[in-house]
A = this chain, B = another copy of it.
Amino acid sequence: MLTRKEELTEALIGYLLTHGLSDLSLRPLAAELGTSARLLIYHFGSKEGLLAAAMDAMHSHLRGTLQTLAENDAQEGDARVLRQFWDWAVAAENFSYLKLLYELQILAARHPETYGPFWQKATAGWLELIKGLLPADKQKAAIASLPIAVFDGLFLELMSTGDRQRTTRALDYFIGLVEEVRLNRAAAANKQRQASTRKRPPPR
């Protein structure tokens, strides 16, 4: 059975997803949750404790759904994983979560003391998860940063413009770029291998 604090936390997440966290205020929140500011403080200790509880719950939720996504996509070890992740992110039930995460990131950049720990906790885990999806030779920091940045930038634009079609096409264009380079390099390596002596086995 859920304790009162836990069900409040769930409702609280729903509220944050639609109202954001930059201008969170206890009394309007309490009104919408059918409780009082007094009780929110009672259960969470303070506004900061309330935020911490919400972020923790949000973090585990995201981690959970991302984990299943990673397991399902483990076999498709390509740049297309990025597309799968994008489809997951723009799904209605996940979109608000990510929107909140980006808001948190901006807040953390401006107020590291207050929001920095929340953002670190929220992203540390899932960035590792994304890197885990990349092929081993792509895990060098700078190279791994690029697909993440593409995702971030396009999601940011989707948030602002709502233009899902254009942002999705831009992502596909990026994936196409990466694929094209991969194929060209493979072809070039193949040709060079044929031209060389056959004593050495082909590089792995």
**Could you tell me if B180 and A178 are in contact, using CB atoms closer than 8 angstroms?**
no
How many copies make up the complex? 2
Of A42-50, A129-137, A147-155, A190-198, the one contacting chain B is A147-155
A92 part of interface (Cβ distance < 8 Å): no
A157-B152, A184-B184 known; A173 and B142 CB under 8 Å? Answer: yes
Indicate which residue in B20, B119, B143 contacts A160 across the interface (CB closer than 8 Å): B119
A22 part of interface (Cβ distance < 8 Å): yes
**Could you tell me if B150 and A169 are in contact, using CB atoms closer than 8 angstroms?**
no
Give the chain B neighbours of A178 by CB distance below 8 A. 177
**Could you tell me if B146 and A170 are in contact, using CB atoms closer than 8 angstroms?**
yes
**Could you tell me if A160 and B22 are in contact, using CB atoms closer than 8 angstroms?**
no
A174 part of interface (Cβ distance < 8 Å): yes
Give the chain B neighbours of A157 by CB distance below 8 A. 145, 148-149, 152
A2 to chain B, nearest CB (A): 29
Bitwise, A57-88 to B at CB < 8 A (1) or not (0) is 00000000000000000000000000000000
- Give me 30 A-to-B residue pairs in the complex whose CB atoms sit less than 8 angstroms apart, sorted by A's number: A20-B110, A22-B22, A22-B110, A103-B110, A105-B160, A108-B160, A119-B160, A141-B166, A142-B166, A142-B169, A142-B170, A142-B173, A143-B173, A145-B169, A146-B150, A146-B170, A148-B157, A149-B149, A149-B154, A149-B156, A149-B167, A149-B170, A152-B157, A156-B156, A177-B178, A180-B181, A180-B184, A181-B181, A181-B184, A184-B184
| Nearest 10 pairs of A and B residues by beta carbon | A149-B153, A153-B153, A152-B153, A142-B169, A145-B170, A149-B154, A20-B110, A106-B106, A146-B170, A109-B159
